[in-house]
Amino acid sequence: MEVSLVGIGTRFRSQLTPAAVKAMRDSARIFTTISEPPTLWVPHDLDSGIITALQPLYRPDRPRQDNYHEAAAMVLAAARLSPVAYVTYGHPLVFDRVSQLLMDQSTAAGMTCRVYAAPSSVDEVMAVVGQDYAPGLQIYEAYWLVRCRVAPDTKVSTILMQPQAFGTDRVPDRGTLSTAALEPLARYLGGFYPSHHPAIFVRAGIRDDDGGYVGPRTVDTLASGPLTDLLGTSLFIPPVGNPENRTRKWARLYDPELPSRSTGTAEQ
Ligand SMILES: C[S@@+](CC[C@H](N)C(=O)[O-])C[C@H]1O[C@@H](n2cnc3c(N)ncnc32)[C@H](O)[C@@H]1O
Please indicate whether residue 164, judged by its CB atom, sits closer than 6 Å to ligand 1.
yes
pLDDT number for residue 114: 98
Q: Which residues of 130-166 are buried (b: 16+ CB within 10 A; e: fewer)?
A: ebeeeeebbbbbbbebbeeeeebebeebbbbbbbbbb
Cα(110) to ligand 1 centroid in Å equals 31
Is 99 near ligand 1, meaning CB less than 6 Å away?
A: no
Question: Tens digit of pLDDT for each residue in 215-249?
Answer: 999 999 999 999 999 999 999 999 987 655 455 56
Write the residue with the smallest CA distance to atom 17 of ligand 1.
121
Mutate to test the pocket of ligand 1, among 161, 174, 235 (most ligand atoms within 8 A of CB): 161
* Residue 131: predicted pLDDT: 87
Write down the pLDDT at residue 84.
98
Tell me, rounded to whole angstroms, the distance of Cα 170 from its chain centroid. Answer: 16
Length of the chain: 268
Domains of the chain, first to last: 2-116 (3.40.1010.10), 121-263 (3.30.950.10)
Could you give the CA distance from residue 268 to residue 265 in angstroms, rounded to a whole number?
A: 6
* Proportion of the chain above pLDDT 70, given as a percent: 90
Q: Which helix (H) or strand (E) holds 157?
A: strand 157-161
Ligand 1 neighbour 211 (Cβ under 6 A): no
Nearest 5°: CA angle at 55, between 52 and 60? Answer: 155
Closest ligand 1 atom, CA of 125?
21
State CA 46 to chain mean position distance: 26
Q: Write out pLDDT tens, residues 160-189.
A: 999 999 999 999 988 899 999 999 999 999
- Measured from the Cα of 203, ligand 1's closest atom is 20
The predicted-structure confidence for 102-119, as pLDDT tens digits, reads as follows 999 999 999 999 999 999
Whether 91 is in the pocket of ligand 1, judged by its Cβ within 6 Å, is yes
Nearest CA to ligand 1 atom 11: 162
